[in-house]
Structure 1
Amino acid sequence: MSEMVLWEIRNGVGHIVLNQPDQGNVISTPMAHALAAVVEQAHRTDIGAVLISASGKQFCVGGDIREFVQNREQLPQLIAEILGLLNPTMQTLANLPVPVISAIQGSLGGGGLGLGLCADIVLASNQVFLRGGYSAIGLSPDLGSSYYLSRRAGAARAKYLLMSNRPISAQECLRLGIFDALHEPHELAAQACQLAEELAAGATNSLAHIKKLCDSAHSHDLQQHLQREQQAITDCAIHPNSREGIAAFLEKRQPGFQRN
């Protein structure tokens, strides 16, 4: 594995860490290869949750502008190469059957929006600023940035944020639903790890169904969704975790859930 993106498993949680702090964790071609390899590792590993974080003062500033300048005559080909790697990677992240949490410790923009907001649960430092970045250099969003912003804040607000390119504070992101919770900078990492480990120790079959149901809620009418809910809760009821969870509740103890 490349040192650009670190991968480690602790207490059932797969940790993905963007690790080019001196460069703002830019999404260069080498970074794209490293990230794709680590996400594939997460896909193949038996874990209960994934935590995405970053080293340094910035979470991810987006694409590598220096690489764009160096390849300005072949920019469409460069973008096609990077997205050819990362679009399937983003899809793999979205399809992981476990909770994905992001801990955004520093400012993010460009493709960093997609990496930070693709998580099921987005935690952030209360000192963070979010900025679109794309319109300032005449480009449009990638890596799901417009998709996740629209899902979290609504299409109208996403257009405003991406078109105006104005920085948005962590508090405003929380109000808009872009972030799920804010923490003091020195507390963020510990809080994110604690949540990830709690979820990894939970009934992961139940969490997988919750994830699928919520992600697909706007893709079906109510009747179809009720049917999907019925099938999901039936599958959960068959699983040993439901019996363990009910027994633990009655016995007033912590449940010992199975991962699969």
Structure 2
Amino acid sequence: MDTPELIQTTLEVTDGVALIELRNAGRRNAWNGRMAGEYRWLLHHCDERADVRAVVVTGAGDDFCVGADFRELESIGETASYERPRAIPPAPFPDRADESLRRNHMYPLTLSVPVIAAIQGGCAGAGFVVSTYADFRVVDGAARVSSSYAGLGLPAEYGIGWMLPRIMGTAQSAVILLDNEPHSGSDVYRMGWAQYLSEGTGSARARAVELATRIARSSAPSSIAMMKRQLYVDAWREATEAYVRSVSDMDAAVGSADFRRSVAARRKGERVDFRTVEPKEPQT
């Protein structure tokens, strides 16, 4: 299936960076089934495109995403089930995706490209899930971030209780989950949920694009693909298994085109610009 018609998202690719914008006009980018389907398909195609080396996801206007559209929440309450008919058939997982990560909201972790969330304004509920499953986060100091689950009588959704402690530790995860009041961008940066703090309203997007461009330019696509698997799959295995697999990765890397290009450039006192469009090497 090709990318569906984009109604609640937009995509722009510049200098190796794909900018995905969540867009639900008049509803502060509230999340719904249509937006979810479009977002996953855009990630799928960004992963396959040779001209995309990094992805930034953000919200249109003043907010990132304030959570699920209340019209859908009411429907969920009426049926007492999260299961809803899909507005769009889901994009397939990459062939290399480990079985442990083949869960809908973990989709960004299976990609060969980094996904960076740029957070401004309100970020709650479903928006909190989307940004938590990015590889890292850039947040405006004035942003307002809340998991929001406790205020709705809900548990930590979609494996967030597993993911959060791996980002920010158990105690800080408890604060952001159990205290339902919004936390400032400065607070969630201090707590470790966000990795970059951008002062100035609306500045997170520009900072995230700057970081993504730097990664796209200076980091080999094959290295990023292997490192993401090491971070999200190998890191939870026994140390010996992770070590042995890393040595196997090293042996594979020294035979790669990315390695050969880099060594040749260093001999000339130069550095490779990895935004040069070449097919991404398959990773296992």
The verdict on a shared fold, with TM-score over 0.5 as the criterion, is yes
Distance in structure 2 (CA, Å) of the matches to 1:233 and 1:112: 37
CA gap 1:135/1:82 in 2 versus in 1, 3 angstroms: farther
Give the partner amino acid of 1:50: V
- Unaligned 5+ segments in structure 2 are 92-101
CA gap 1:163/1:222 in 2 versus in 1, 3 angstroms: same
Give the partner amino acid of 2:78: E
Q: Which residue of 2 aligns with 1:162?
A: 177
- Please give the secondary structure, in 1, of the residue aligned with 2:84: helix
Matched, 1:23 2:40: no
Q: Which residue of 1 aligns with 2:255?
A: 238
RMSD after superposition: 2.5
Whether contact under 8 Å (1:244, 1:256) holds in the other structure is no
CA drift at 1:85:
5.7
Distance in structure 2 (CA, Å) of the matches to 1:108 and 1:127: 11
* Deviation larger for 199-208 or 136-145: 136-145
Q: Which residue of 2 aligns with 1:124?
A: 139
Q: Which residue of 1 aligns with 2:59?
A: 54
Whether contact under 8 Å (1:117, 1:149) holds in the other structure is yes
- Unaligned 5+ segments in structure 1 are none
Number of matched residues?
A: 258
Matched, 1:223 2:240: yes
Give the partner amino acid of 1:174: Y
- Please give the secondary structure, in 1, of the residue aligned with 2:123: strand
The sequence identity of aligned pairs, in percent, is 24
* Deviation larger for 110-119 or 237-246: 237-246
Matched, 1:90 2:90: no
Which residue of the other structure, out of 67, 79, 83, is the alignment partner of 1:80? 83
CA drift at 1:206:
0.9
CA gap 1:33/1:212 in 2 versus in 1, 3 angstroms: closer
Whether contact under 8 Å (2:56, 2:117) holds in the other structure is yes
Distance in structure 2 (CA, Å) of the matches to 1:85 and 1:136: 30
Question: Mapping of 1:105-120 within 5 angstroms?
Answer: 105-120=120-135
- Please give the secondary structure, in 2, of the residue aligned with 1:53: strand
CA drift at 1:254:
2.4
CA drift at 1:96:
0.5
> What's the TM-score once normalised by structure 1's chain length?
0.87
CA gap 1:26/1:110 in 2 versus in 1, 3 angstroms: same
Q: Which residue of 2 aligns with 1:190?
A: 206
CA gap 1:206/1:44 in 2 versus in 1, 3 angstroms: closer
Whether contact under 8 Å (1:40, 1:89) holds in the other structure is no
Give the partner amino acid of 1:81: R
Matched, 1:7 2:11: yes
Matched, 1:175 2:190: yes
CA drift at 1:221:
2.2
Whether contact under 8 Å (1:110, 1:141) holds in the other structure is no
- Please give the secondary structure, in 2, of the residue aligned with 1:23: coil
Distance in structure 1 (CA, Å) of the matches to 2:189 and 2:21: 23
- Please give the secondary structure, in 2, of the residue aligned with 1:175: helix
State the Cα deviation string for residues 29-78 of structure 1 (Å, max 9, x = none): 332333333333334433211111111222111112233235632241xx
Give the partner amino acid of 2:151: A
> What's the TM-score once normalised by structure 2's chain length?
0.81
